[in-house]
Each structure stands twice: as C-alpha cells, then as structure tokens.
C-alpha cells in the first residue's frame, strides 16, 4: 500500500484524474491511520492547487462518508422524508435553530449534525449548550429516537461518522488548504450524507462575513456542492444568501438562543432573519416533497409558527436531549453577562456598512468563540441590538450593546465594534439584500 499511496500523491501532484479506487484507497488509509499527516498534507495541497474533476469530488465525498458509520432510517418507520440544511457559516446566523423545528412541524424528519464555531463564525452546538443540560453528544440510538419522536435533533458529529474527514480537516487547517472548493465540498457532504438524508438544502453565504466574500466564488461553491450531492445520490439544492452584515441583530451563544426563542414564540421576528429562514425552509419542504410549491411551503411554515407548533418541537427536542430548563418560553432562562455596555454612535446619519467578519471576531475576543480548539466558550458574551445597514442613528444612540465578562473586555469590544460600523450623512445606500439564486 505504501507504493500505492505514493503513486496516488504523484498523480494528483501532476494534475492527473484519480480513479475512484485510488481515492478510496487513500481515504481508507487516512481512517486507519496508515496514511501519515504529511501524506494527507501532500494530498490536500496538490488538490488545492490542481483541483478535482466532478467525478473525483463525488468519489472523495463517498469515500469519506463510508470511512465510518452511515445512519440507516429504514427500520424506524418514519412517516416523512429525512431532510436537512447546512450553512457555510456567518455571524448571527441562527437559522438552523429555527428551520429544524419548523420543518419537523411540517412533517419532515431532520437529523441535523452541526458543528462548533470556526474562526469568526458561530457554532450551532455552542449556542445550544447555552441551554442548561442540553447534550450535543447523545448515543446514536437516542439521537435516532429523538428524530423519530420529535422530528428534529440537533447534535454534534460522533467519532463514528466520517472519521476520515476529521483527520483531513485538521491537516487542512494548518496547511493553508481550507479554501479548496473540492475539499470544502467533500468535508460538508461526507458528514451530511453519513446522516442518511433524502434531501439537502445548502445555504452558501457571500459577503464580507462569509468564507466566500466574492459572489462568483459563492456560486462556484454552491454549484460544486449541488453537483456533488446529486452525484452522490442525495437530492441537493442551494441558495446563496447575504452575509455582508450579521443576519440577526445579535451574535453570541446565549444571545442568539434568545433571538431564536423570541422568533419561535412570536415575540419578535427580525425581518432579515425571517426572510432567509423562510426561503431556506421552504426550499427544504419542496425538496422533501412536503410542499407542492414555494408558495405552499411558505404558508405551511407560517402556519406552524403562528400555531406555536414549531416552538413546541424545539422545546421537546431540548428536553429530549437533556435540557433542564422546564419552560423555554419564559424570559430570563439563559445565562447573562455581568457587564453590558452600549457602543454609541459619534455622529448622526445612516448605517451604510458593517464589517461582519470583524464583528464576529469581537465575539470571539470576548470569549464567545475559540482561537484554539481547547478554548472554553463563555455562553454569556456577545453583541445585541446591532443596527442594520440602512438604519438611521442619532449621535449618542447605541449602534450595538456589548455583553462581556469584565470591564476591560467590554471596553476593548466597544472600540472594535465602533470601528466595524460606517455611519454616513448620506442616505443613498448601495446595498441589495441577496437571497438566491437557487442552484439545483
């Protein structure tokens, strides 16, 4: 096998197309630890430089999926499709917390395997752990039973699912090969396909707070994911959505859970967050055959929100996964930061630009994310009531509120948030909210 691995690396380095057998041999070697980190690094760098054909990308995705356990739902007698969505990440992006229970209330079954924060982007698992007792690592049997009984379970990747992906990603993270579209695609889809999905909808972010700031790169990534997912046997489509400013008016784990609870109970539904959530969830209902059209899907989603059924699904999921909070509809059930300070506008005008990535890094700096994997996340900290592009502000009015563990962190964050906002005396803002196009 040593000779085979060397030849595989040589062929990829020279830009040749690898066979499905060669890719499978390499990935099996990764999963068994026969392939070394240096060989993984050679493979990822060659792939980053040379790229992959559509066939290679499908083969890599399937090999990584099959490096571990693939969930089987056939014996559970589910009454609807097994479907999910995935986002490429951003700031204030809490749509997974909303879409899962909404789709479940419409008849779908959503085994959502999510991740932790990465760089400036927030992690769904970190957010859920702000709810006392919530367990993101249940045993497989419990995970599947929660999906069957509630319709949705949001958990983390287990050691049994796509283990080759964890090794490959760890090497990519330290070898400047994270940006490879082929490797991004295989990493995302191997985990999602291991969940045994019938359909998947991707939310590919674009803008200064996304991993793909340029529109053409976002389209390229969306198309690659869609082609690969469909080629691997899962009905896959994608929407390209805006991340040139935070999606929700808050960023930070407990603060985003609070937004989610307000949204699901109907206390408040921020406009931008609502539009993106409905667009993605509607696409998922159509993809799963639960709605005849986008209009039909949107009406179903509004119905389960207004009836309270979507919130019921969320609360049932939390309790089934260990949450100790008895009534999540009550305010003040989440941890709160001891220091809360406003970020005041120094002049009157209109918000014409925000640096979403910078705002995300402010949350990380406060302790709401990780600089290294071993960092402990503080669920209390973050930013709230962030002004959106196009909003008018008066001098001395808050642009946002900082939630911090101490005064020093708070003041540093205030300065950084202030620098991330552009306020102009002119109201003619060149900004177009982007939802779409649908790729699929």
- The whole-angstrom separation of Cα 253 and Cα 122 is 8
For the question of residue 116 being annotated catalytic, the response is no
For the question of residue 84 being annotated catalytic, the response is yes
SS3 242: strand
The Cβ of residue 432 has, within 10 Å, a number of other Cβ atoms equal to: 7
Instruction: Supply the angle between the helices 181-194 and 37-50 in degrees, to the nearest 10.
Output: 120
- The whole-angstrom separation of Cα 381 and Cα 399 is 17
Tell which phi-psi region holds residue 166, choosing left (phi > 0), alpha (psi between -120 and 50) or beta.
Answer: alpha
As given in the structure block, the two tokens for residue 92 are 């204030």
For the question of residue 192 being annotated catalytic, the response is yes
- The whole-angstrom separation of Cα 120 and Cα 269 is 24
For the question of residue 214 being annotated catalytic, the response is no
Which of the following is catalytic: 24, 47, 67, 84?
84
| Nearest by Cα to 314 from 74, 151, 172 | 151
As given in the structure block, the two tokens for residue 383 are 């930013």
As given in the structure block, the two tokens for residue 410 are 């708070």
Contact 82/112 with Cβ under 8 angstroms? no
Which of the following is catalytic: 191, 319, 341, 387?
191
For the question of residue 28 being annotated catalytic, the response is no
DSSP string of 375-417?
PPP-TT-EEESPPPTT-EE-TTSEEEEEEESSHHHHHHHHHHH
As given in the structure block, the two tokens for residue 207 are 């803008």
Which of the following is catalytic: 116, 167, 172, 319?
172
Could you say which DSSP state residue 18 is in?
Answer: P
For the question of residue 172 being annotated catalytic, the response is yes
Please name the residues in contact with 231: beta carbons below 8 A apart, sequence gap of 6 or more: 54, 55, 57, 58
As given in the structure block, the two tokens for residue 246 are 């935070």
For the question of residue 191 being annotated catalytic, the response is yes
SS3 259: helix
Which of the following is catalytic: 86, 116, 205, 341?
86
Which of the following is catalytic: 124, 190, 236, 384?
124
As given in the structure block, the two tokens for residue 282 are 């509607």
For the question of residue 85 being annotated catalytic, the response is yes
Would you give the distance in Å from CA 298 to the centre of its chain? 22
Which of the following is catalytic: 65, 120, 167, 192?
192
- The whole-angstrom separation of Cα 289 and Cα 297 is 10
| Nearest by Cα to 212 from 186, 236, 185, 234 | 185
User: Order of strands across the sheet with 349-354?
Assistant: 392-393, 349-354, 421-424
Please name the residues in contact with 361: beta carbons below 8 A apart, sequence gap of 6 or more: 120, 416
Which of the following is catalytic: 85, 235, 380, 387?
85
Positions marked active-site: 84-87, 124, 172, 187, 191-192
């Amino acid at each position: 096998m040593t000779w085979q691995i060397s030849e595989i690396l040589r062929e990829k380095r020279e830009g040749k197309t690898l066979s499905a057998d060669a890719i499978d041999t390499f990935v099996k070697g990764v999963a068994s630890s026969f392939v070394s980190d240096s060989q993984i690094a050679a493979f990822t760098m060659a792939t980053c430089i040379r790229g992959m054909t559509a066939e290679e990308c499908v083969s890599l995705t399937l090999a990584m999926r099959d490096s571990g356990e693939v969930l089987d739902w056939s014996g559970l007698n589910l009454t609807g499709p097994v479907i999910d969505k995935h986002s490429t990440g951003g700031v204030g992006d809490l749509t997974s917390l909303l879409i899962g229970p909404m789709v479940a209330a419409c008849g779908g079954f959503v085994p959502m395997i999510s991740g932790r924060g990465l760089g400036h982007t927030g992690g769904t698992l970190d957010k859920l752990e702000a709810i006392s007792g919530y367990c993101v690592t249940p045993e497989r049997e419990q995970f599947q039973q929660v999906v069957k009984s509630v319709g949705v379970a949001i958990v983390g990747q287990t050691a049994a699912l796509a283990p080759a992906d964890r090794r490959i990603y760890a090497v990519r993270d330290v070898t400047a090969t994270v940006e490879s579209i082929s490797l991004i695609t295989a990493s995302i889809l191997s985990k999602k396909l291991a969940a045994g999905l019938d359909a998947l909808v991707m939310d590919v972010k674009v803008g200064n707070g996304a991993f793909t700031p340029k529109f053409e790169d976002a389209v390229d990534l969306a198309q690659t994911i869609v082609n690969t997912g469909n080629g691997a046997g899962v009905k896959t489509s994608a929407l390209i959505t805006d991340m040139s400013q935070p999606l929700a008016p808050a960023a930070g784990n407990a603060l985003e859970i609070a937004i989610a609870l307000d949204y699901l109970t109907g206390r408040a539904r921020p406009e931008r967050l609502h539009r993106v959530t409905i667009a993605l969830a509607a696409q998922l209902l159509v993809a799963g055959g639960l709605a005849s059209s986008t209009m039909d899907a949107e009406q179903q989603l509004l119905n389960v929100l207004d009836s309270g059924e979507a919130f019921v699904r969320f609360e049932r999921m939390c309790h089934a996964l260990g949450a100790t909070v008895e009534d999540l509809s009550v305010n003040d059930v989440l941890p709160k930061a001891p220091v809360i300070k406003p970020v005041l506008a120094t002049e009157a005008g209109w918000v014409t630009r925000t640096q979403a990535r910078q705002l995300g890094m402010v949350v990380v700096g406060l302790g709401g994310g990780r600089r290294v994997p071993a960092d402990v996340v503080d669920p209390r900290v973050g930013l709230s009531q962030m002004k959106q592009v196009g909003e008018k502000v008066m001098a001395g009015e808050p642009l946002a509120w900082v939630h911090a563990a101490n005064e020093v962190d708070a003041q540093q964050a205030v300065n950084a948030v202030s620098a991330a906002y552009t306020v102009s005396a002119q109201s003619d803002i060149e900004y177009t909210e982007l939802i779409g196009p649908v790729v699929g």
